[in-house]
């Protein structure tokens, strides 16, 4: 009796270990492990190394757990049959093993591990590494067999196993509710989303662009540039859509003040225009600004038609929010969005949806349209009539001012309760 009972105890202990380790390695904090590894913790380094190949350590745990549980079942059945006979012994073994495995090999170890994942992972790292080394030949065969079976069944796809570090970071930001994190959360989320936003969403549209005719007399052009709040101004020839260069105001006035360069001040202060595609991501454009050491680019569409301009400041504002300095007349290129006493907001039709969401804590979708007017046009599938309310996404939209087909100003009222269908006119 001593040997079977001793084997049962060993099997329960090993099953406890494998179950607890499986849960702990799934819930362990990588950030905590990296910090401990930098401090010299050997176990933390082993945890990180094992987690780099999750298929391998999970195979070790599952293989070991199944072998132990099967051995536990066989020994317990043999012991019960010898004590109670074939019929009652099998019945007793069935209920006995079920109770032992459920309580001591599943519920208790996993409940303990989920409450102490870092502690259990550090404790089990070295033994698990030893098991991984011993079982390596078997695991190679099993993994190859499993992958071939999954591939034949069409279940082996990269997206099934890939994890998104970006989603993990976003989730971590949402979980932390400290005051310091809350104030920085919008900026951190914006950094993570830079590759999801395109220049079309943040550029200054050509209708709001300030540009000058290169054929303007120098005396008049000097006055126009002096009155302009921008240091870089596009210059066009024959048509405002035909940009031939970008004038640097500071260089222009420095050359103009020197009698030796007065006659050529315009030509020397003019820089070659840099055209970028409107579908370029903000992250790529930021990298391009750094590589070219430039702060200004003109945005075109796939047909080469001018759409607007983008600056380094536009990219930074996408991260930190609107930046207004002493030279800016208003924020958002003169566009307005003002909260009213009744809780509604009156905004310019060209106001960016992303800025509205950030400013008022809303959740208006910006996948199909980048501006408030664009969203209203997309949802109504028509030119909205003035003073007719349209309701969707939990908000009521009402055009207050129109100029032809252009939606100049729109009132947005958050609904209470849920959104209603789009109004028909």
Q: The domain that contains 252 carries what CATH number?
A: 3.10.580.10
Please state which of the ranges 181-195, 277-291, 345-359 shows the lowest mean pLDDT. Answer: 181-195
Q: Is residue 399 part of a domain?
A: yes
Tell whether 218 and 358 lie within a shared domain: no
Q: What is the pLDDT of residue 61?
A: 86
Chain centre distance of CA 299: 25
Please tell me whether residues 186 and 201 are part of one structural domain: no
Give percent of the chain with pLDDT exceeding 90: 10
Domain end call among 173, 192, 211: 192
Residue ending a domain, among 268, 290, 312, is: 290
Are 231 and 331 in contact, with CB atoms under 8 Å apart? no
Average pLDDT of the segment spanning 17-44:
86
Q: What confidence category does residue 83 fall into, taking pLDDT thresholds of 50, 70 and 90?
A: confident
Query: Is the pLDDT confidence value at 297 over 90?
Result: yes
Helix%, strand%, coil% for the chain, nearest 5: 55, 15, 25
DSSP for residue 281: B
Identify whether 395 is part of a domain: yes
Distance, CA of 363 to CA of 196 (rounded, Å): 16
Query: Crossing angle for the helix pair 117-134 and 136-152, nearest 10 degrees?
Result: 100
Same domain, 232 and 376: no
How many domains are there within the chain?
A: 4
Is 265 inside a domain boundary? yes
| Residues 254 and 279 reside in one and the same domain | yes
According to the model, what pLDDT value does residue 245 have?
A: 92
Contacts of 157 (CB under 8 A, 6+ apart): none
User: Which of the residue ranges 23-37, 119-133, 327-341 would you say has the lowest mean pLDDT?
Assistant: 327-341
Residues 72 and 176 in one domain: no
Mean pLDDT of 295-304: 91
Q: What is the pLDDT of residue 336?
A: 75
Q: How far, in Å, are 185, 370, 425 from residue 380 at the CA level?
A: 33, 16, 10
Lowest-confidence range among 220-224, 253-257, 323-327?
A: 323-327
The pLDDT assigned to 80 comes to 84
Within this chain, do residues 152 and 13 fall inside the same structural domain, yes or no? yes
Same domain, 342 and 245: no
Closest to 172 (Cα-Cα) out of 55, 29, 272: 29
**Last-in-domain residue among 192, 208, 233:** 192
Q: Does one domain contain both 208 and 109?
A: no
318 inside domain: no
Strands of the sheet with 337-339, listed across from one edge: 337-339, 345-348, 406-414, 395-403, 389-392
Q: Per the domain annotation, does 316 fall within a domain?
A: no
Where residue 292 falls among pLDDT bands split at 50, 70, 90?
Answer: very high
Residue 325's pLDDT band, with cuts at 50, 70 and 90, is low
Same domain, 93 and 143: yes
Question: Tell me, what CATH number does 398's domain have?
Answer: 3.30.465.10
Query: Which of 162-171, 271-280, 318-327 has the highest average model confidence (pLDDT)?
Result: 271-280
Summarize the confidence of residues 10-21 as an average pLDDT.
88
Rounded mean pLDDT of 30-57? 84
Chain-wide mean pLDDT for the chain?
A: 82
In a domain, 356, yes or no: yes
Q: How many CA atoms lie within 13 A of 183 on its CB side?
A: 2
**Does 310 map to a domain?**
no
The answer to whether residues 142 and 275 belong to one domain is no
Give the tokens for residue 93: 């073994």
Residue 313 lies inside a defined structural domain of this protein = no
Q: Residue range 374-381: average pLDDT?
A: 86
Say how far apart CA 36 and CA 45 lie, in whole Å.
Answer: 8
Q: What is the pLDDT of residue 408?
A: 85
Could you tell me which residues are beta bridge partners of residue 105?
A: none
Residues 15, 133, single domain; the answer is yes
Domain that holds residue 243: 197-290
Task: Note whether 77 and 144 are same-domain residues.
Answer: yes
Looking at residue 152, its pLDDT comes to 79
Distance CA 131, CA 148 (A): 24
């Amino acid at each position: 009796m001593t040997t079977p009972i001793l084997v049962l105890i060993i099997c329960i202990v090993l099953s406890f270990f494998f179950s607890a380790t499986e849960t702990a390695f799934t819930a362990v904090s990588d950030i905590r492990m990296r910090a401990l590894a930098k401090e010299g913790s050997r176990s933390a380094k082993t945890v990180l190394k094992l987690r780099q190949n999750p298929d391998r350590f999970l195979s070790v745990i599952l293989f070991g757990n199944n072998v132990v549980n099967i051995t536990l079942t066989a020994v317990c059945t043999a012991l019960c049959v010898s004590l109670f006979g074939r019929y009652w012994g099998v019945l007793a073994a069935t209920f006995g093993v079920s109770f032992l495995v459920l309580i001591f090999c599943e519920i208790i170890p996993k409940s303990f591990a989920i409450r102490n994942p870092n502690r259990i992972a550090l404790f089990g790292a070295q033994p698990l590494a030893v098991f991984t080394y011993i079982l390596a030949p078997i695991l190679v065969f099993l993994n190859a067999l499993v992958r071939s079976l999954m591939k034949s069944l069409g279940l082996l796809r990269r997206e099934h196993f890939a994890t998104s570090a970006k989603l993990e970071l976003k989730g971590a930001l949402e979980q932390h509710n400290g005051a310091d994190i809350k104030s920085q959360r919008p900026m951190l989320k914006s950094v993570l989303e830079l590759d999801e936003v395109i220049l079309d969403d943040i550029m200054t549209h050509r209708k709001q662009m300030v540009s000058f005719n290169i054929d303007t007399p120098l005396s008049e052009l000097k006055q126009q540039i002096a009155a302009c709040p921008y240091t870089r101004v596009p210059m066009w020839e024959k048509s405002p859509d035909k940009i031939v260069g970008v004038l640097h105001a500071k260089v222009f006035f420095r050359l103009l003040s020197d009698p030796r360069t007065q006659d050529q001040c315009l030509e020397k202060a003019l820089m070659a225009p840099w055209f970028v595609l409107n579908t370029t991501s903000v992250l790529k454009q930021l990298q391009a600004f750094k590589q070219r050491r430039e702060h200004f680019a003109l945005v075109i569409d796939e047909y080469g038609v001018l759409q607007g301009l983008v600056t380094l400041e536009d990219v930074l504002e996408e991260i930190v929010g609107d930046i207004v300095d002493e030279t800016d007349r208003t924020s958002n290129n003169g566009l307005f969005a003002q909260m009213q006493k009744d809780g509604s907001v009156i905004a310019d039709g060209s106001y960016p949806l992303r800025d509205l969401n950030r400013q008022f804590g809303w959740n208006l979708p910006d996948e199909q349209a980048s501006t408030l007017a664009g969203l209203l046009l997309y949802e109504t599938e028509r030119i909205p009539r003035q003073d007719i309310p349209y309701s969707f996404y939990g908000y009521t939209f009402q055009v207050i001012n129109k100029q032809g087909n252009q939606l100049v100003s729109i009132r947005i009222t958050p609904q209470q309760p849920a959104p209603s269908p789009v109004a028909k006119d």
